[in-house]
Amino acid sequence: MSDLPESLFLNPVWHSLLGPHRHLAIDGGEACRYPADVAPFAALAGQSAAAVRHLRELLEPADPVWIVDAGLPRVPEIILEGSLLCLQMVLSRKAALPAPATPAVEIVPLGAANAAEMVALTDVAFPGFFRSGTYRMGSYFGVRAADGLLIAMAGERLRLEGYPEMSGICTHPAHRGRGLARQLIVHLAAVHRRQGLVSWLQVSAANANAIALYRDIGFETARSVMLQRISRADHTNRAG
């Protein structure tokens, strides 16, 4: 799709770290990564064994990362721990945003002071991806219960020029079925539209419920990508 150019999105972590998120980048020449407390993502300049070996130097023991695999060379210094097929979906500039829900819930901004409760909530849905410093990647919004407990959230993760990625979208199991995630997504999409940005996201190809929600809001599938979980060869821990 023209709203999601392949030149950026076949290697989105690389372009995010060399672009708007350069202040977060740990640079290894032909490889780069986010700090471990921000996000478990890394990227290569190209698909070469030398680039993979450069990446190994950025990894610590017990520090696996996810990388988009577009023909990742297999080298003995790196262990492949798992893979995850994802869809990249985009909300076209031409797509009409759904009307706000009635009655609307109160949506509040989240930041550094809320890091611990954001990690706790996301760990219910996708443990390990949201870290104590992930809030540094962009803007986050949430919904609280009457007692103040954070029960739903959504925000931004990878940042490409003109294309912020929606991520951290989740609702506590006890509060699902109320359309909270939908309201947060529409809210964030409206923020992006006002800023002249195009919203996109990545979702597990096996997550049928989430994909159906995104399509109902207006997202369309641009392509599929394979994420690989890799670690240093001296690390064999396959947990979470």
Name which of 48, 1, 5, 2 is nearest 161 in CA terms: 5
Mean pLDDT, rounded, of the chain: 92
Mean pLDDT (whole number) for 107-130: 95
Rounded to two decimals, the pTM is 0.91
* Assigned CATH topology for domain 6-86+225-232: Aminopeptidase (3.40.630)
Separation of alpha carbons 101 and 90, rounded Å: 21
Task: Quick: pLDDT tens for 199-218.
Answer: 999 999 999 999 999 999 99
Predicted confidence band at 57 (pLDDT cuts at 50, 70, 90)? very high
Q: Of the ranges 8-12, 21-25, 47-51, which one carries the lowest mean pLDDT score?
A: 47-51
Domain borders along the chain are: 6-86+225-232, 88-223
CATH architecture of the domain formed by 88-223: 3-Layer(aba) Sandwich (3.40)
151-184: per-residue pLDDT in tens? 999 999 999 999 999 999 999 999 999 999 999 9
Q: From edge to edge, which strands make up the β-sheet containing 150-160?
A: 65-68, 219-232, 78-91, 200-204, 163-171, 150-160, 140-144, 108-110
- 6-86+225-232 with 88-223: one CATH topology? yes
Q: Give the 3-state secondary structure of residue 150.
A: strand
